[in-house]
Amino acid sequence: MNNNYIPYGKQDINQADIDAVIDVLKSDFLTQGPKVPAFEQAIKDYCDVKYAVAVNSATSALHIACLALGLGKGDWLWTTPITFVASANCGLYCGANIDFVDVDPVTYNLSVSKLEEKLIKAEKDGKLPKIVVPVHLCGQSCEMDKIHALSKKYGFAIIEDASHTIGGKYQNKKIGDCRYSDITIFSFHPVKIITTAEGGVATTNNPILAEKMELFRSHGITRNENQMTHQPDGAWYYQQIELGFNYRMTELQAALGESQMTRLDEFVQQRHILAKRYDELLKDLPITLPWQHPDTYSGLHLYVIRLKLDQISKSHKEVFDALRAKNIGVNLHYIPVHTQPYYQKLGFKQGDFPNAEQYYKEAISIPMFSKMTFEEQDYVVATLKEILCD
Ligand SMILES: Cc1ncc(COP(=O)(O)O)c(C=O)c1O
């Protein structure tokens, strides 16, 4: 028995990260100083993208992305049901309607064929979406070239929810470069690939979208006289020209993020080593292992297995509980969003998205984080074997 709890994910903080945060604490700026732009620059350089707007969470990034794209009442935002609620809630914040596109049964990402079917019908009904939010589940990119081609045909904007994916690639280019989207967002929650405690960023190549997102992150206030309705009254002057929020990232968070960025590739490589080991060690068990599309290099935020329930004597819940009882912090990503009570009140029903619902009945996220030792991994594998095969 392993007495140490093994979480499904956790941060990897070293002395350089700690020193970077302490330096900020000793500096003149705890917020609105030089660290946020420096962190944004690190993201831009890494992702090869023109603009990056850092905020206090990926949820905020999704919200300002929707606002910048002009989402409002009467519009539709579509996303996948297998995601965290934030990918859909951002549309509701703007007063828009939400709908979902069922997942691909192999990648668990939004299915391109289902998207196309739904677009054909929506065009006839006059209900085409204004925004589609593909989510790169577990760190694996959606088929962005195809989704992008559909966006051109049907006229919707794309926000990539890459909360799981910083450091990942699609067709050999960094996710976040917005080659196939208007905006990409990342999350820096501690379970993610790099962390700023709480935090997020939105990237784009479009200067107008970048300018709008900067406004929405800070009350809709500008100090740029080119954006003002008249010449500034004086050096103190600012104008509120939009209804924005306080979604700013602090200097402490940005310093941590900037320091974490220097080890991002290392973190993702380590996750790949662990995933390869899992692939090998788990291959004979009655489970489906993650499948990687050849166009993708996953950020590997999560390693999700699916139980072959017809080949084992235990239920999904029994396997899950048995792992937790052995100090393994498994989790389930995600409960299909359309089955949440809030979304059921909006009219969604069980049975609406069968692939997503089937996935939910079988999926378990097993531990995956850069600091995980092979010993911990061997314990997870041995425990899983024992539970599935006894
Ligand atoms: C797919 C996805 N989107 C959005 C979010 C929201 O991220 P944050 O916690 O940074 O607001 C998460 C966080 O878990 C997520 O997994």
Task: Give the per-residue pLDDT at 21.
Answer: 98
pLDDT at 357 over 80: yes
pLDDT at 309 over 80: yes
Query: Ligand 1: which atom is nearest the Cα of residue 135?
Result: 1
For residue 163, how many other CB atoms are within 10 A of its CB?
Answer: 29
Report the separation in Å between the CA atom of 280 and the middle of ligand 1, taken as the mean of its atom positions.
Answer: 30
Report the separation in Å between the CA atom of 86 and the middle of ligand 1, taken as the mean of its atom positions.
Answer: 6
Report which of 326, 319, 289, 303 is spatially closest to residue 388, judged by C-alpha positions. Answer: 319
Report which of 120, 82, 130, 94 is spatially closest to residue 336, judged by C-alpha positions. Answer: 82
Task: Give the per-residue pLDDT at 61.
Answer: 99
Query: Ligand 1: which atom is nearest the Cα of residue 83?
Result: 1
Task: Please give the model's pTM, rounded to 2 decimal places.
Answer: 0.98
Residue nearest to atom 7 of ligand 1 (CA): 58
Query: Ligand 1: which atom is nearest the Cα of residue 200?
Result: 10
Average of per-residue pLDDT across 216-220? 98
Report which of 384, 370, 385, 382 is spatially closest to residue 7, judged by C-alpha positions. Answer: 370
With b meaning 16 or more CB within 10 Å and e meaning fewer, what string describes 192-226?
Answer: bbbbbbbbbbbbbbbeebbbbbbbbbbbbebeeee
Task: Give the per-residue pLDDT at 4.
Answer: 87
Task: Give the per-residue pLDDT at 161.
Answer: 98
Q: pLDDT of 95-111, one tens digit each?
A: 999 999 999 999 999 99
Report the separation in Å between the CA atom of 230 and the middle of ligand 1, taken as the mean of its atom positions.
Answer: 39
Residue nearest to atom 8 of ligand 1 (CA): 58
Average of per-residue pLDDT across 212-234? 97
Q: pLDDT of 34-63, one tens digit each?
A: 999 999 999 999 999 999 999 999 999 999
Report which of 71, 81, 125 is spatially closest to residue 348, judged by C-alpha positions. Answer: 81
pLDDT at 158 over 80: yes
Distance CA 170, CA 181 (A): 12
Report the separation in Å between the CA atom of 59 and the middle of ligand 1, taken as the mean of its atom positions.
Answer: 6
Ligand 1 pocket, mutate which of 189, 247, 253 (most atoms under 8 A from CB): 189
Apex 329 CA angle, 137 and 89, nearest 5: 40
- Calculate what percentage of the chain has a pLDDT beyond 70: 99
Q: Indicate the Cα dihedral angle 202, 206, 207, 213, nearest 10°.
A: -30
Report which of 83, 4, 33 is spatially closest to residue 380, judged by C-alpha positions. Answer: 4
Task: Give the per-residue pLDDT at 390.
Answer: 77
Average of per-residue pLDDT across 11-16? 98
Average of per-residue pLDDT across 263-274? 98
Residues with CB under 6 A from ligand 1: 57-59, 83-84, 86-87, 135, 161, 163-164, 187, 189, 200
Residue nearest to atom 14 of ligand 1 (CA): 84
Query: Ligand 1: which atom is nearest the Cα of residue 137?
Result: 1
Report the separation in Å between the CA atom of 218 and the middle of ligand 1, taken as the mean of its atom positions.
Answer: 20
Query: Ligand 1: which atom is nearest the Cα of residue 60?
Result: 11
Report which of 169, 364, 178, 200 is spatially closest to residue 272, judged by C-alpha positions. Answer: 169
Amino acid at 135: V
Compute the mean pLDDT over every residue in the chain, rounded to the nearest whole number. Answer: 97
Distance CA 166, CA 199 (A): 13
Distance CA 164, CA 381 (A): 23
Query: Ligand 1: which atom is nearest the Cα of residue 301?
Result: 16
pLDDT at 1 over 70: no
Average of per-residue pLDDT across 278-300? 98
Tokens of 267: 């973190």
Q: pLDDT of 108-147, one tens digit each?
A: 999 999 999 999 999 999 999 999 999 999 999 999 999 9
Report which of 145, 137, 183 is spatially closest to residue 164, judged by C-alpha positions. Answer: 137
Calculate the CA 167 to chain-centre distance: 12
Query: Ligand 1: which atom is nearest the Cα of residue 333?
Result: 16
Task: Give the per-residue pLDDT at 178.
Answer: 98
> Would you say the C-alpha torsion 352, 354, 356, 360 has a positive or negative sign?
positive
Ligand 1 pocket, mutate which of 103, 163, 193, 196 (most atoms under 8 A from CB): 163
Report the separation in Å between the CA atom of 25 and the middle of ligand 1, taken as the mean of its atom positions.
Answer: 27
- Calculate what percentage of the chain has a pLDDT beyond 90: 99
In the structure, what pLDDT confidence band is assigned to residue 2 with cuts at 50, 70 and 90?
A: low
Residue nearest to atom 4 of ligand 1 (CA): 86
Apex 137 CA angle, 80 and 203, nearest 5: 90
For residue 39, count CB atoms less than 10 angstroms from its CB and return exposed for 0-12, middle for 13-18, buried for 19 or more.
buried
Rg (CA), the chain: 22
